[in-house]
Amino acid sequence: MALSKRITTLTAGGSDGWDVFIRARKMIAAGTPVTELTIGEHDIRTAAPILQSMHQSALGGHTGYAMVPGTDTLRDTVAKRTMERTGVPTSRDNVLITPGGQSALFAAHAAACDAGDTALYLDPYYATYPGTLRGVGAIPHAVQTRAEDAFQPRASDIEAAAQGAKSLLINSPNNPTGTVYSRETLQGIAEVCQRHDLWLISDEVYDSQVWEGEHISPRSLPGMAERTLVVGSMSKSHAMTGSRCGWLIGPEEAINHLITFATHTTYGVPGFIQDASVFGLEQGTSFEDAVGAPFRRRRDIAQKVLAEQNTVGLIPAHGAMYLMLDVRATGLSGDAFANALLDAEHIAVMPGESFGASAAGHIRVAMTIADDDFERALRTLCDFAERYAT
């Protein structure tokens, strides 16, 4: 029996970008120790008090179907957090709770795009973005950013691609680059969206991890609240990646229709996970800062290590849990460098090419192991690069 083109063309016939990660996991399964600097998984687990809250909720009986839009309490809590951080009036009617940020990304594009519509996204990008757009039947179109701009997108490049498009997906703080979009960058994006009547889908799952500058939600810019859908999640801010609890924030009309969409797709998020998410959010910004603190420390360690050599370049890392390193001085592509590093040193990183053409010749390093181990691995990586460059 033939499968649908929608499901068989999610990666457009190419790699899904996870080849090095999968090879590293196979090496580990075969008994070879590998230092993994690949995926954005905290090296701490979900905090015990959050798990205790989850446990108590489950024991208390919140294990049946929860309301599809999310519990009123969690929707109110997310709305309150959003209003405090952005200043934009937000109520539960603007919030849909989803099974993680990935589900919110899919739902947002289902709301914005019909089959055959062009959906823009910025390159480099999180590896699932183009497949998500194809999954809703949209035609993905990448807008290139440049390493020499520290991957800040240029409004003129978006403008050149915007004619006839329906949506634009952005991500700040950015995975994979660590770039935090400036107010000037976001204002330029907002103006293009308004001129071309684009939905702006803003992936803000790293909003609590800003090391330099400030996080600005484009929904807070003049004229943008009615055309912006914001993706959020408990995964990165509260080290709850496996709990799969996220949200989508947008205009009330869009959320109403998305509730119907959720009824026919995910049918909501378990109530005991939502109760634990309320508990986590109620711990405030100090808790989120503590979850993000290791990545701030390791960013500082990386800056020190990389300043001591001249082969590997560091894209300014102003947020999130990743570094984007320029390895073009070795003469290798990012893919070749990552595979050679894995073979020679048993260190696994993600090739820049996994995230698009703009990151060719780069690698992404996740700052997700203990400080001493991270510094040791980074020094080994730099020594390895210098052997190729000499």
Percent of the chain with pLDDT over 90: 96
Residue 295 is predicted with a pLDDT of: 98
241 lies in some domain: yes
Distance, CA of 362 to CA of 350 (rounded, Å):
9
Q: Are strands 228-233 and 199-203 parallel, antiparallel or unpaired?
A: parallel
Residue that is last in its domain, among 283, 308, 327: 283
Write the pLDDT tens digit of every residue in 156-191.
999 999 999 999 999 999 999 999 999 999 999 999
Domain that residue 157 falls in: 64-283
Return the structure tokens found at 211.
């090391």
For 237-246, what is the mean pLDDT? 98
Per-residue pLDDT at 15 exceeds 80: no
Residue 326: left (phi > 0), alpha (psi -120 to 50), or beta?
beta
Q: Are residues 29 and 81 in the same domain?
A: no
Residue 12 is predicted with a pLDDT of: 83
Per-residue pLDDT at 389 exceeds 90: no
Residue that is last in its domain, among 237, 259, 283: 283
36 lies in some domain: yes
For 356-368, what is the mean pLDDT? 97
* DSSP letter, residue 312: S
The total domain count for the chain is 2
Q: Are residues 185 and 294 in the same domain?
A: no
Write the pLDDT tens digit of every residue in 291-346.
999 999 999 999 999 999 999 999 999 999 999 999 999 999 999 999 999 999 99
Q: With 0-12 CB in 10 A as exposed, 13-18 as middle and 19+ as buried, what is 378?
A: buried
DSSP 375-389: HHHHHHHHHHHHHHH
- Is 203 within 8 Å of 350 (Cβ atoms)? no
For 3-30, what is the mean pLDDT? 89
pLDDT interval class at 18 (50, 70, 90):
confident
Cα-based torsion angle of the residue sequence 326, 330, 336, 342 in order, rounded to the nearest 10 degrees:
-90
Per-residue pLDDT at 17 exceeds 90: no
pLDDT interval class at 33 (50, 70, 90):
very high
Residue 369 is predicted with a pLDDT of: 98
Sheet architecture: strand order including 165-171: 95-98, 246-249, 228-233, 199-203, 165-171, 118-123, 139-144
Mean pLDDT of the chain: 96
Residue 332 is predicted with a pLDDT of: 96
H-helix segments, the chain: 5-8, 19-29, 48-59, 72-86, 101-112, 129-135, 155-162, 183-195, 234-237, 252-263, 271-282, 284-307, 334-345, 371-389
Q: Are residues 131 and 224 in the same domain?
A: yes
Distance, CA of 321 to CA of 273 (rounded, Å):
24
| Of 210, 232, 319, nearest in space to 277 by CA | 232
What percent of the residues of the chain are helix, what percent strand, and what percent coil, each to the nearest 5? 50, 15, 35
Residue 325 is predicted with a pLDDT of: 98
Return the structure tokens found at 123.
């390159």
Q: Are residues 275 and 303 in the same domain?
A: no
Q: What's 77's domain CATH number?
A: 3.40.640.10
pLDDT interval class at 390 (50, 70, 90):
low
pLDDT interval class at 135 (50, 70, 90):
very high
